[in-house]
Amino acid sequence: MTQRDSAAGPLSGIRVLELGTMIAGPVVGTLLSDFGAEIIKIEQPDGGDPIRSIGPFCEGESLWWNVEGRNKKSVTLDMRRPEGQAVLRQLVKEADVLVENFRPGTMAKWNVGWDDLKKVNPSLIMVSVSGYGQTGPYASKPAFDRIALAFAGMLNITGFADRAPVRPGVAMADYQSALFGAFAAMIALFHREARGGTGQHVDVSLFESVFRFTDIMVTAADKIGVKRTRRGNLHFAAAPGDHFETCDGRYIVMTISNNPLFAKLTTAMGQAALAQDERFATHDARWINITEINALVGEWIRSMPVNDVIEILEGHGLPHSLVYSVDDILADPHYAARGAIVTLDHPKIGALKMPAPSPRMSGTPARTMQAAPDLGADNDEIYGGLLGMDAQAIAALRAGRLI
């Protein structure tokens, strides 16, 4: 670990080699880079990370790449060839963490698997992200975000009972796995730096990252035989609870999870007697009669335009939210006050708005955002500066199409 510069973020001095592509592996790097870790992204010379070629585009620049490639350095290296593997081993000697999300066995096939690299640098922390994990009968099977959502049981409980399962609108398995990967890297760094431990191999699977977020699904099925199914927008902890439509076509999300809140809602509706109705007097009773209570609430909300509904709900201190569109997000004063959207200055396409680093740290804030690099933009700095190669050696790498 190099010397830490507090002005550059709390993880300044941590050097990460990012070998992953697309989302799950690279976002581990993005999360760490937001707080100051030096991320050296290693890409194949023939095109680099495929996410660079996925739209939408602005003046030829992938917006997705520019969000997840921020705060990183890019070097090119063909790791499929022995000469490239030798260079990677030199880089590993100078690294704290290596992140990869190739199919299990790929790195070992290239002679740079965990067993090879821990000999080069016993202090190395290697984070491997894969669909099914590094072990087990399915380890070698290919998997992507939606496949992991299906295997983890998430898709089976998402959507309406009379229709096919519905995927979330974003790559949840990839981003959840990245979060676990970054979390695990920090645990491993703490173990190494504060507890005198050594390096270790971290095994993150897409399906287990999703599975951990299925709350009591397995517990309830195993212990009391309750098997969750697709219920649309209903949830057993919210009665009433739904996405209620207003008369002007907007949707209000409301969750009522206890009796005092329900009493407030009935007062707001001008139907206080509902709180004493035996069908609705307790949360359990309301869940049994969820169709009836949701219909009553839905009819009340549907009688008004969205602004009137919100004014009444806020006036009675009831939890709710408008179902936000991206336009709502960009215009909302709370997003602005929190600085939840950061604007990064890109040298080619100008100002880019994107989600700000999270969480917020009072004593160790995130670094200033830097634009995502062009492919191989940092070859000379890393190979010449970090590894000490002279110009002739770097030119030889280029001539041999290794970088």
- The catalytic site residues sit at 174
Sheet of strand 241-245: strand arrangement:
241-245, 251-255, 320-322
Q: Which residue matches tokens 């760490």?
A: 32
Contact 231, 156 (CB under 8 A): no
The C-alpha atoms of residue 356 and residue 342 are separated, in whole angstroms, by 5
Write the DSSP assignment of 241-252 as a string of letters: EEEEEPTTS-EE
* Nearest one of 1, 201, 21 to 108, comparing CA atoms: 201
As given in the structure block, the two tokens for residue 395 are: 């030119």
- As a three-state string, the secondary structure of 76-116 is ECCCCCHHHHHHHHHHHHCCCEEEECCCCCHHHHCCCCHHH
d(CA 281, CA 69): 52
What residues does 43 pair with on adjacent strands?
A: 76
CB 161 within 8 A of CB 229: yes
Residues 6+ apart with CB under 8 A from 226: 220
Q: Tell me the one-letter amino acid at 16.
A: V
Q: What burial class does residue 4 get, using C-beta atoms within 10 Å of its C-beta: 0-12 exposed, 13-18 middle, 19+ buried?
A: middle
Residue in 95, 98, 100 with CA at minimum distance from that of residue 386:
95
Neighbour tally for 183: CB within 10 Å: 14
Q: Which residues pair with 18 in a beta bridge?
A: 41, 99
